[in-house]
Amino acid sequence: MIRGILFDLDGVLVDTAKFHFLAWQRMAGELGIAFGHDENEQLKGVSRRASLEKILAWGGQTLPEPEMERWMATKNAWYLEYVTTMTSADVLPGATEFLRSAREAGYRIALGSASKNALPLLELVGILNLFDATVDGNDVTASKPDPSVFLEGARKLNLEPHECLVVEDAAAGIEAALCAGMFALGLGTPEALPKAHRVLPDLKGQDPRSLVADLEARAAAIAHAGAEGAAAAHSAADGASAERLAASQPAITHSAADVAATPNTHLPS
C-alpha cells in the first residue's frame, strides 16, 4: 500500500532542465565539444560531476581534477544566474496543487533529487514547506540510477520502499526507483520512460488518491498474471516444457519490488 510520495525536482516540480541545458551547452561550447538536446536528455537526473564526465567523454577529453572543479563551479554559477529569475510561476503545471492534495490525503511527502541546489530552489519558488523530508545531492554521492537517494527518502519518511511512489522525468530516475523496489510514475512520454509503471505528461488535474489506486491496481494485475502463468507451468504434463514456460513468465509476487523489476511496456499509459 502506497503511503508516501517521493518527488524528483528538476523536470517534475520545476522547469529547470532548460537552464541546466543552457549552462552545459555554454561550457561544452568553450571546450569545443558538440552538445545538443539528445546529449542533454542523457544528463537528466545525473549528478553535476557525472554530467561533466559524460560531456568530456563525448568530446574524447579528460581534465585534471582542479580543472574539473573549476568547470563544475563555472557551470553552476551560470546555472544559478539563469534560475534566479524563477518565481512560483515556474513551478510545473499541477505540481503545487498535487503536492497540496497529496498532503491533505495523508501521504508523506519527500524530495529525492540529485541537485545540490534543490533546497534554495524549492524555497525560491515557495514550495519547500510542502515537504516532510528532503534528500538531495548534498546528502548522497551516488548518482541515479543508483537508488540511494530514494532509499534515504523512504528512511526519512519512516516507510518501507514498497510503500513509496516515485515521480520522475528521467530514465535514470525511473531505474533508481525500480531498483529501490518502489512504484514509478514517469512524467514525459512512454517512449522516453518505457520502464515506468505509468507515464503522464504532467501532474495537471491529477488526484493523488485515484492515481495511487490506479498504480496499485496495475501492480495487482501484473501479480495476478504472474500467478496464472506459474499455475499453468505447474499443470503442464512435460516437466521440461513446464520449466521453460515458468522461465518465460516475469518473476512476480505481490511485492512492489518484484513488480518494479518488471518492465511495464505492455501496460496502457
- Are 256 and 181 a contacting pair, CB within 8 Å? yes
- Choose between 68 and 230: whose C-beta lies nearer to ligand BG6: 68
- Are 184 and 196 a contacting pair, CB within 8 Å? yes
Q: What is the DSSP letter of 143?
A: P
Spatial separation of the C-alpha atoms in residues 65 and 42, rounded to whole Å: 23
- Grid coordinates representing 61 are 577529453
- Grid coordinates representing 231 are 499455475
- Choose between 182 and 223: whose C-beta lies nearer to ligand BG6: 182
Set 10, 136, 169, 258: catalytic member: 10
Among all chains, which residue has been given the C-alpha cell 510520495? Answer: 5
Of the residues 6, 25, 27, 51, which one makes contact with ligand BG6 according to CB under 6 A = 51
Of the residues 46, 92, 130, 203, which one makes contact with ligand BG6 according to CB under 6 A = 46
Using CB under 6 A as the binding rule, whether residue 9 contacts ligand BG6 is answered as yes
Spatial separation of the C-alpha atoms in residues 192 and 205, rounded to whole Å: 22
Is 8 annotated as catalytic? yes
Please tell me the total number of residues recorded for the chain in this structure: 269
Is 15 annotated as catalytic? no
Residues of this chain, 98-117, that bind ligand BG6 according to CB under 6 A: 113-117
With CB under 5 to 8 Å by kind, the binding choice for 125 among Mg ion, ligand BG6, none is: none
Helix, strand, or coil (residue 185):
strand
Question: Among 42-50, 54-62, 104-112, 211-219, which window interacts with ligand BG6 (CB under 6 A)?
Answer: 42-50
Residues of this chain, 29-48, that bind Mg ion according to CB under 5 A: 45
With CB under 5 to 8 Å by kind, the binding choice for 226 among Mg ion, ligand BG6, none is: none
| Residue 132: exposure state from Cβ atoms within 10 A (0-12, 13-18, ≥19) | middle
Cβ neighbours, 10 Å, residue 190: 17
Residues of this chain, 49-108, that bind Mg ion according to CB under 5 A: none
- Choose between 74 and 249: whose C-beta lies nearer to ligand BG6: 74
Of the residues 55, 71, 127, 137, which one makes contact with ligand BG6 according to CB under 6 A = 137
Using CB under 6 A as the binding rule, whether residue 83 contacts ligand BG6 is answered as no
With CB under 5 to 8 Å by kind, the binding choice for 48 among Mg ion, ligand BG6, none is: ligand BG6
Angle between helices 148-157 and 171-179 in degrees, nearest 10: 60
Helix, strand, or coil (residue 125):
coil
| Residues binding ligand BG6 (CB under 6 A) | 9-10, 20, 43-48, 51, 76, 113-117, 137
Q: Which are the catalytic amino acids? A: 8, 10
